[in-house]
Chains A and B, each alone.
Chain A
Amino acid sequence: DTAVSQTPKYLVTQMGNDKSIKCEQNLGHDTMYWYKQDSKKFLKIMFSYNNKELIINETVPNRFSPKSPDKAHLNLHINSLELGDSAVYFCASSQASGTYEQYFGPGTRLTVT
């Protein structure tokens, strides 16, 4: 059984479009995260939600909007896509935001043309 799943796995789209990436975890965790991995494989936190409440919002353009309909889901919506948004986006979850390890999803490779 997949613990943290993301859809789609690959996403190719044109500049200016709006797209969403979905994430679901079946671990019963309270906290979920979005990370961005750039072309140099550097990983950086974008957002974190704890029980549907936003707790981390790093310096991310307003075009990125996370939505958590329930604590098992954290979706990422991106408006007006730009070339620089091309990256691999990883969702992760942890039991809580404290001393707990994070479990990562398989990633979504977004390519903006």
Chain B
Amino acid sequence: QKEVEQDPGPLSVPEGAIVSLNCTYSNSAFQYFMWYRQYSRKGPELLMYTYSSGNKEDGRFTAQVDKSSKYISLFIRDSQPSDSATYLCAMRVNTGGFKTIFGAGTRLFVKA
């Protein structure tokens, strides 16, 4: 079993839709949870990160962490064609050398 599971998609939605992207994980020691966006032929860019459980909002993006269920989500409101990209979740544990584990990424297409 992978430490981090993420549905690769693709996920196709109409412009203006609310998008929900999710990851599950198996290591209860993870403390930091990140979401990255990667456009084609580019490196990933950090969207937001959260520590422990709870919600964090930044503009149209909301990150949610449920440590009891080992489940994290990224919500995108009022999705735009420019949001079309691959979204990667990532997690870190501050033991054993601060290793970051990435999900495989979900490809999102927002249709105009």
Partners in one complex: no
A contact residues vs B (CB 8 Å cutoff): none
* Chain B residues in the interface with A (C-beta under 8 A): none
